[in-house]
Structures are given as C-alpha cells and as structure tokens.
Structure 1
Amino acid sequence: MVTTANPDTAPTVLRGTPVVPGLAHAPVQTVRGEVSAEAVARFGTGDFADEDAALAAYDAAAQAVADGFTDKAARTSGAAAEVLTASAGIARDRGLRSAVRKQLRSGDDLVAAVRAAADQFAGIFTQMGGLMAERVTDLRDIERRMVARLVGEPEPGVPTPAEPSVLVAEDLAPSDTAGLDPALVVALVTERGGPTSHTAIIARQLGIPCVVGTAGVLQVSSGSRLLVDGTTGLVEVDPDPADAARRVAEDQAVQASLAAWTGPAATADGRPVKLLANVADGESARAASGAPVEGVGLFRTELSFLDRREEPTVEEQAEVYAEVLNAFAGPGPGGADRHVVVRTLDAGSDKPLAFATLTDEENPALGVRGLRLSFSNAGLLERQLDAIALAARQAGTEAWVMAPMVATVAEAAAFGEQVRRRGLKAGVMVEVPSAALLAHRMLEVVDFLSIGTNDLTQYTMAADRMATDLAHLTDPWQPAVLHLIAITAEAGRRAGKPVGVCGEAAADPLLACALVGMGVTSLSMAAAAVRPVGARLATVGSEQCEEAAEAACAAADPMAARDAVRRVLGL
C-alpha cells in the first residue's frame, strides 16, 4: 500500500509486512543484481570448439559458484548456513547440468542455455508449490552468478555501503543476506517476499529492522532517505530529519533496555514462559547457549547432513547430536537444568537428503517428507532415535524428541512408543491443520506438542510462502492460523502438558504476548530475538496477554490483528 500525504507537510508512506521490529533512518542502497548486457554481448557465443568445451566452461562456473556458497556457509551458522548450503547443492545439481546440455544440443549458446535451464527449473519449482516455490529466488541468484562467471564479470550481489544504509531490493537471495554487516546495513526493505521468506528469517538472525512485501519501494530514488519501522511495517520516504532522528533515538534507548534483559522469562505478574533457541549444529548451539535461554526448542538435525550422499552411522550421528546437547548441559537463567528438543529428520521438499529423500515427486511439499520417510524406510528413523539416545547418555542433558509432518493420531502414537522405548520424552510438531484439530487426542499419546507456524500457516492458507501476491495469506497473524494455535494450546492446558511454538512467529515480541495469552508455554527462536521477546513479556500481565489473544483471533486480517494487540498492550 502507498499513502501520499500533502507533499508540503508529510512524506510518502509505503506499507509492507513487518518482520523484525525496530526503527532505522538512513539513505537508500538499492540492489540491482543483473549481469550487464554489455558483458553478455561481448561474450557472445563464447567461441567454444564444441558442446563438450561449452559444458566444461559451465562445470567450472557452477563449481565456482557452489564453492562461494560453501565458503560463506562455513563463516556463518544457523538459518544462514542452512540456506547457503542448500544453494550450493542447487548449483551442483546434475539435473540442472543435464538441462543445460540439452539446450546446447538444441543450438543455444552457453549463456542462453543456462538461462533456459534455469527457466525450466523455475517453472518446475513454481508448479510444485509450497516450500519448493521458495527456491525460485535462490535459483535465479545462482543463474545470475553463473552467467557472471562465464562472461568474466564479478558475481552480482549486495554492494558494501559507504555509510550506514537501508538495503532495498525486489527480493534478496540467501547469499545476499547471509553476509550482511549490521553496522552498515541498518534495515532491509523488499518489494517481494513474505514473513517466512529467507530474507525475513535471516533478518531475524541478524536482528535488524525488516519490512517485506513493500509495493512501490523500488521506485524510491537513490538519493532518498527512508525511515523504516519494522514494528508497524511503515516505510517513510524522506521524513523530517529532526523528527526521524528523535524517533530513532527513542527506539535505540528501548533496544538498549531490551539488551539488558537477562531472564528467565515471565509475564509482569509472574507467569513463567520458557524461551528456547533454534539451532542447526554444534557451532550455532554454542553461540546460542550464551543467550538467556532455557534450552533448545528446535534442533534441526537434517541440516548437519545436507552434503552427505550416504546415511551417517549411529555413531556419526550421535557425535553431531552430542555437540548440541553438551552446549546446553547445566542450568539455565532460572537455575533449572536445560533441555534440548531434537527434531527428527525433516528431509524432503526444499531440504533434500541424498540418502533419504524420494525423487521425482509431483508435489514434494505435500509428499513424502519428515516422519513420512519412515513409512517405507523404518530403519532410517530407528537409527536416528538410537543415535539421539546415545548422545543423551553421553552428554547427560535431557533430550526431548519430536517428529515433523505428523497428520494422524496413529502416527503420533507409533512415534511416541518408539521414542519412549529409548527413555526419551516424545512429542510431535503441529504443522498440518489436522494435528491442531486433533491436538487433544495427540496429547493422549505424546508428552508435548510444538507448533511450527511457518508450515502451519502455509498449509492452512493454501499459499506458497514466497508468493508476494499472497503475502497477506502467509502471515502467521492470519486469524485462522491463530485459532488453530489457540486450539492446540488449550488442549495442552487441559492435558497439563507443554505446548510450544518454534516457528518464526515466536520471534515476534508482539505476537509472543498473544501466544502466551492463548496458553503457549514455550517460545523457540533465533538467539538474537530472545531478549526483545523476553523484555516485552516482562512488561505485560497475564490478563493483558489473554485479552491480546482474544483481540488477535477476532480481527479480520493480519494488519488489523497487529493493531488490535497494540491497543490492548498500550503500544
């Protein structure tokens, strides 16, 4: 939405979907990621001797691009490392190479062949929908980088600003956002993308204000300054400098007070809320263990094995898991021992594992992923559970184990029995609407539930997470999604069992208050989001949280829900 007030009295205001709260005021730095037409024209057909020579040049470019992603992944962790590793896999994909070869044989020159192959796969990913559609942005980034390598230009990407700036782009690939310096990039604004896009996820990890799905932002001139409000989703173009400076200073004072919060988390009247970390490996776990968290709410085990062609042994898996468990040995900020919630392999869809994922599925997002992999390969799950149990014994840290993509009570019961046989606490993820609707029966056969709001939102609203035109549907503030969360939390309250949220929604301080009001007992998020969430919860009472939950569920749409909760909380 674009709002233009009287040009003599007020700036132009754009509105998008808020992702990471905070205020920033700085000049625009626009990302234009295309390879120059002049370089492509100079390259021409490349003058290759034959098809094999052209394909060898492609192989070299693909390997260089993949190596670049791998190097960046090694210098980061968590969500950033996850998506960079996945991008490296796409760059090396044999299917993409075969498509390039086919185009060469049909008479295309090498650059045209790369672009045609990328078009083909982008169409396939889009038709698959769901999480695979999210990979189109990554694929286009890979295409541009390969073409740049072929024609002798530097790989496109985010320029390093000469001064603190607001980064503006149509969309940002993981390779763009993963290496950002928060001292120079003070906010992110994109024209495309939704609240669960890669840009949003990595912005949360970096802790910088972010607004996505902002129509019209690319038309802002390069000499303008933007005031970005990551709480309301408003982006003001050339606001009054003195007023902007005052508002940013006030926000910085608030952020400084948030940074001083040390936990444990509780509402103003003393209702305890466990704040937990999302981690991907030992390195990210060690980094997160220094935050005021009471353990791990989501250990994404599949991310440690994305580059493995063969299934790791029980002993190899146990070594990886023990690193995370060891990082959380001992008491948390409240003095109680911490625990780690281990998610079994969430392979499939956009996270293929060579040793587990089925190939040639028509719609992987609705196919054999997560727990469903064990239906035809029971040993895969059995060996992983053995490894988790072994790691827990070695580390002495309490391990809870949950399965992703559980749709029926029978699936939950069978999984719970397998986990309990190994002396571990069993749970399932609520990502499929059927699991939320049957939460009360799920809790008869497992010990806890964990709501994955990213997938729950996608499957509830039948909307691809990366479809900008549908960003209003892929927002976790959608009332239908909130009602399913409330149903699940109420089932937990009645059963006297924990119900957590481990999706991106948990990192939103405003939404966190409403989730607690629904009865959610724990929130798991990127470590950078813990202090803002904990500090916000400490300012509101339990009754306010409950009123906020009711107001959000009664709202007509996500923006109205946010506004209603702000009013209830007096913000």
Structure 2
Amino acid sequence: MVTSIQGTPVVPGLAFGPVLVASADVSTSAVEAFGGGPADPAAALAAYDDAVGLVADGFRARATAATGATAEVLTASAGLATDRGMRAAVRKNLNAGQQLLPALDAAVEQFVTVFAGMGGLMAERVTDLRDIHARVLARLVGEPEPGVPVPTTPSVLVAGDLAPADTAGLDPSLVVAIVTERGGPTSHTAIIARQLGIPCVVGAAGAIAELDGRTALVDGQTGTVQADPDHAEAEALVAADRAERAALASWSGPGRTADGRPVKLLANVADAASARAATSEPVTGIGLFRTELSFLDRETEPSVDEQAAIYADVLEPYAGDGRHVVVRTLDAGSDKPVAFASHPDEENPALGVRGLRLAFADPGLLHRQLDAIAIAAERTGTECWVMAPMVATVAEARDFGVAVHERGLKAGVMVEVPSAALLAHKVLEEVDFLSIGTNDLTQYTMAADRMASDLAHLTDPWQPAVLQLVAIAAEAGRRADKPVGVCGEAAADPLLACVLVGLGITSLSMAAAAVRPVGARVGGVTLGRCEEMAEAALAAEDPASAREAARVLLP
C-alpha cells in the first residue's frame, strides 16, 4: 500500500530510493562503562574542556573545508560548543556535587529550555545544542562522535532532525533526498541541503515510523513523500526530473526574462573563499556579504585596518565589469552571538538588540565598520553598496543613509520587519535600495518560530501575507525608480523566483549553487507571465495553493 506523507518543501527535485534512518544516540553500554567520571570537580571540568575542544575542532575543520552557508553554520556550531555560559553551568553543577555526565545533561537541558522559550532564531539552535551534547558525551565516554550512517547505495535519508555537521557532510551521490520530521524552510538542514542541491522536505510528521524499511519517492517541489511507490513509475519520474535539472544547470546567463527584462542574479557569501567560489557561477556580483560571520570566534572587536583587509578580500574578485558587492553591516545577536557586540542576557534576542540596534548604545561599532568598508572599496576599486539589518523605522533608515553617504557609498536597508515593508516608500526617500530578507520577514509577519514543526506551514515564504509585503516594497521601489532585491532563501526557489520577478523584484541573491536553475527558470518565462503567476499566488489562501497556482501557469 502506498503511504503519502506531507511536509514542507524546501529544495525542489524528485528522488527515489531505499530509506536510511539516521540516529544520533551514544551507546548505553559505553555510558555505563564510563560511570561517574573523575570525582574531583576540577578534573571533571578539565575532561569536559578536552571533550568540548575536540568537538569544536571538528566543527572548525569541516567549516574550513566548506564554503558559503555550510561554513557559516559550522562555524556558529563551534562557537556554541565552546560557549562560556554552558561551561559555567557545567562547573556550577560539578561544584554542587553532581558527577560529570549528570552535570553535562543538566547544563544542556537548562540551555535547551532557555533557547526554546526564546523562540525564533534561538529556538532553532536547540537541534544544534542537542547535537553538541551527543558529540561531547561520545568524546567523554571514548566513542566516535555520532552522525549519519554512510549509505552503501543511493538512499533517502530520514531523520527526526539533522544537525549542521551531519547535513554538511552528506554526499549528494549517495544521499539523494532528505526528509525530516522537524524543522522549517529556513532551518539549518534546509539551508545546507539547498547549497548541496539535495531535494529536501522538512516538517514531515511521522516520517520515521511510516518510512523505515521501505522505499520512498520524495518530491521537493510539493513536499509530498510516497512510501513504496511503483518502482518503474518512480524511476521514470526521477529520470525526467533529472534531465530537466541538467538542462537548467547548463544555463550560463545573463539574468533576464524570456522577453528581455533584466533580473540581476547575485550570490550570498560569508567570506573570501565563498566569494571567490561564486565567481565560477554566472553571477553579476554579491547581493549579501554577511560580515558578522567573520567574527563569531572573536572576543574583541577587530581594528578598522583588520576589518578593511577582510572586506577587501571579499570585494576584490568583483572589481570592474559593472559588478557590485552588497555588504551587510553586523547582524550580530540572536542566533549569531558575536562576543564584542551581542547582548547575551536578553529574554528574547530575536525581538531584542540585534542588527542595526547594536549601534543605538554603541554608535562607534557601526561607524568603525563603515570606515573599514569604505577603505576596502577604495583599495579594490569595487562598487560597494552597504545595507543595515533589522531596520524598523524611517528615522533609522535616515541616520544609516547619512552615515553611509558621508563615506561615498550607496546605502540600503534590509526589509525584515513588516514595518519596513509597509513604510518602504518613505524609507526609499532616505536610502538608495532595499533588500528583502525573506527568512526573518516571514517569521516576524507570521509570528511563528522557524523551528516549530507544527508551524512550518506558517514559516513558508509562499505565505500570501508575506508575498503581499514583498509586493508593497517592490511597488515602492518602482515608483522611486530604485532597486528592490531579495536576498533570503526564497530567492533560491526557481518557481518562487518567477513570482518575485512578477511582483517587481529587480535582483535575486542566493547560494551560488542555486543561480543556474533560478536563471534558467526565469529565462524561460516572459515578464507578463511572471506577473500572472504573482497575481495567482497573491490570490491564494495558503502556501500550497499559491505554489500550485503559480506552477500551472508555467509555459
């Protein structure tokens, strides 16, 4: 009997294969053999430090071998593993008389409770925290760190959830699709799967029980997972999809609709390595350089000269030929704690002092970064645009615009807060461009935690309410004759990209690996058809019907 499970689609594509279920457990026998660990609290804490150091080193090694979003997520996990607050909680428990393993368990649960209670981006770190717990536990008891088993044949990986280190290490030739019971469209699993190009469905409740020991056909476009379909039919569907994706992957630009309307296709990058790697794709520049990811392991603020050198390495490959780089100022706080900038004791960091708000109490932090960006732009000769995250008011946009313009650079703001979209016409009187961060805009619009599996339908960027806000911002840009782009994960969805163009978006920035499929899809549709798709999606009542309404209009 064919069983169909519905989840949230995040990476399009069809895949079929036997199901491989991932487990992250450390063997009970090894834990029992370890016993209580060192009796002396100081010796126990030293053992904890050694184990944490090895786990963090493993994350950093994987990050060094990766690029883009994968490197970002792994670097953040290394920082979370060595978090001083976690160490302090373990030490407190040891000094209170607990043995090492119970002290670790209690500290982790303390932070899990705190993170889950914060909601938003911090709740998303619960999966990462539990993964770190399992890895540290394994190191303490002398076992290999847990992870996804390596399949011997191309398989569909099914899990409750996947930690960043597990997802980053997947081989797309052996893991043909990913299905998780938890997570949303902007979870770490989704972000890394998108960069790897692996069809992915998240928030598929009951997937392990339904799929274990069976075969599965995964549709990353609709979010449907079928168990034990007819093998011949499934393989034929996959072959047709593979041929279509191969044709899309051969696209080489330039970015434009079938009737010639230009659409800039840009790359999201984290560092110099990912910026250089993106030059091998048909991009016309960088639409999002996440500067804070260069400083996750820094205890003190880098000097202006140090920052300028880092930024210049990112800008240099894009000098000349009409290309430009959009640099985002520090988006520290919430799930990206930068020691010299964050406010660690906030009750709800996702709604607290993050992004541009850090400059309210410390204006010098922003001005020194802008000085460094200006130096890097002058040194490389690269056209540099600068945008601020978490802008909520016209006054904030005005102050930021003045500071950027004083340094001879183009100024913009990110539209992540609904107020910025609603006031886009006034914001554009103060700055030169807008860039829509669909991840946060969706979360804040729908008041839904990105990691709540039962709310994954709300954190879907196809939500008509989110598309309405995008349309408002895009129309403001059209009237002001100023560019409005999208740099969130929504830009990497080829079907949604057509809708965004139809709404009036002028540029799309995404993981470099997604550029060719997006460019090919947009290039096969006229602007008029994109506008029809946009109207159909806006008229829909929910994400699923919005997708279907847009899909049926494809030529």
TM-score (norm 1): 0.96
Matched, 1:23 2:23: no
Matched, 1:139 2:124: no
User: 1:488 pairs with 473, 483, 496, which one?
Assistant: 473
Q: Measure the CA separation in 1 of the matches of 2:409 and 2:535.
A: 35
User: 1:162 pairs with 152, 170, 173, which one?
Assistant: 152
Query: How far does the alpha carbon of each residue in 1:233-292 deviate from its partner, in whole angstroms, 9 at most, with x for none?
Result: 111111111111111111111111111100011111111111100001100000001100
Q: Measure the CA separation in 1 of the matches of 2:94 and 2:211.
A: 41
Q: How many equivalent residue pairs?
A: 555
After superposition, residues 159-198 of structure 1 pair within 5 angstroms as 159-198=149-188
Matched, 1:32 2:17: no
**3-state SS of paired residue (1:463):** coil
Q: Which residue of 1 aligns with 2:337?
A: 352
Q: Measure the CA separation in 1 of the matches of 2:473 and 2:517.
A: 25
User: 1:565 pairs with 529, 550, 554, which one?
Assistant: 550
Q: Which residue of 2 aligns with 1:128?
A: 118
Q: Measure the CA separation in 1 of the matches of 2:301 and 2:49.
A: 27
Q: Which residue of 1 aligns with 2:402?
A: 417
Q: CA RMSD in A?
A: 1.1
Q: Measure the CA separation in 2 of the matches of 1:215 and 1:434.
A: 34
User: 2:393 pairs with 392, 400, 408, which one?
Assistant: 408
User: 2:448 pairs with 458, 463, 466, which one?
Assistant: 463
Matched, 1:553 2:538: yes
Q: Which residue of 2 aligns with 1:280?
A: 270
Aligned residues of 2:199 and 2:220 also touching (Cα < 8 A)? yes
Q: Measure the CA separation in 2 of the matches of 1:112 and 1:406.
A: 43
Q: Measure the CA separation in 2 of the matches of 1:503 and 1:161.
A: 32
User: 2:436 pairs with 444, 451, 465, which one?
Assistant: 451
Q: Which residue of 1 aligns with 2:372?
A: 387
Structure 1 range deviating more: 98-107 or 130-139? 98-107
Q: Measure the CA separation in 2 of the matches of 1:232 and 1:129.
A: 27
**Deviation, structure 1 residue 132:** 0.8
- Runs ≥4 in structure 1, deviation > 4 angstroms? none
Q: Which residue of 2 aligns with 1:149?
A: 139
Q: Which residue of 2 aligns with 1:248?
A: 238
Which letter maps to 2:14?
A: L
Q: Measure the CA separation in 2 of the matches of 1:94 and 1:232.
A: 42
Q: Measure the CA separation in 1 of the matches of 2:250 and 2:492.
A: 18
Q: Measure the CA separation in 1 of the matches of 2:182 and 2:237.
A: 27
**3-state SS of paired residue (2:553):** helix
Q: Which residue of 1 aligns with 2:316?
A: 326
**3-state SS of paired residue (1:528):** helix
Q: Which residue of 1 aligns with 2:33?
A: 42
Q: Which residue of 2 aligns with 1:200?
A: 190
Residues 221 and 196 (structure 1 numbering): CA distance in 2 closer, same or farther, change over 3 Å? closer
**Deviation, structure 1 residue 330:** 3.3
Query: How far does the alpha carbon of each residue in 1:497-526 deviate from its partner, in whole angstroms, 9 at most, with x for none?
Result: 000000000001111111111100000000
User: 1:341 pairs with 319, 326, 348, which one?
Assistant: 326
User: 2:288 pairs with 295, 298, 304, which one?
Assistant: 298
Which letter maps to 2:21?
A: T
Aligned residues of 2:253 and 2:519 also touching (Cα < 8 A)? yes
Which letter maps to 1:231?
A: Q
Q: Which residue of 2 aligns with 1:534?
A: 519
Q: Measure the CA separation in 1 of the matches of 2:487 and 2:327.
A: 12
* Contiguous gaps of at least 5 residues in structure 1: 1-6, 332-336
Query: How far does the alpha carbon of each residue in 1:435-473 deviate from its partner, in whole angstroms, 9 at most, with x for none?
Result: 000000001110000000000011111111111111111
Q: Measure the CA separation in 2 of the matches of 1:418 and 1:411.
A: 11
Matched, 1:12 2:3: yes
Q: Measure the CA separation in 2 of the matches of 1:285 and 1:467.
A: 32
**Deviation, structure 1 residue 53:** 1.6
Q: Measure the CA separation in 1 of the matches of 2:445 and 2:159.
A: 29
Q: Measure the CA separation in 1 of the matches of 2:141 and 2:343.
A: 36
Q: Measure the CA separation in 2 of the matches of 1:146 and 1:411.
A: 43
Which letter maps to 1:485?
A: V
**Deviation, structure 1 residue 359:** 2.7
Which letter maps to 1:263?
A: G
User: 1:102 pairs with 59, 76, 92, which one?
Assistant: 92
**Deviation, structure 1 residue 177:** 0.8
Q: Measure the CA separation in 1 of the matches of 2:470 and 2:510.
A: 17
Query: How far does the alpha carbon of each residue in 1:315-342 deviate from its partner, in whole angstroms, 9 at most, with x for none?
Result: 11111111111121233xxxxx110000
Q: Measure the CA separation in 2 of the matches of 1:172 and 1:466.
A: 12
Matched, 1:498 2:483: yes
Q: Measure the CA separation in 1 of the matches of 2:52 and 2:112.
A: 17
* Contiguous gaps of at least 5 residues in structure 2: none
**Deviation, structure 1 residue 216:** 1.8
TM-score (norm 2): 0.98
**Deviation, structure 1 residue 480:** 0.9
**Deviation, structure 1 residue 221:** 4.8
Q: Measure the CA separation in 2 of the matches of 1:367 and 1:49.
A: 41
Matched, 1:289 2:274: no
Q: Which residue of 2 aligns with 1:213?
A: 203
Identity of aligned residues (%): 71
Which letter maps to 1:329?
A: A
User: 1:369 pairs with 327, 350, 354, which one?
Assistant: 354
Q: Measure the CA separation in 2 of the matches of 1:221 and 1:190.
A: 11
**Deviation, structure 1 residue 18:** 0.8
Q: Measure the CA separation in 2 of the matches of 1:13 and 1:279.
A: 37
Query: How far does the alpha carbon of each residue in 1:51-75 deviate from its partner, in whole angstroms, 9 at most, with x for none?
Result: 1121111111111111111111111
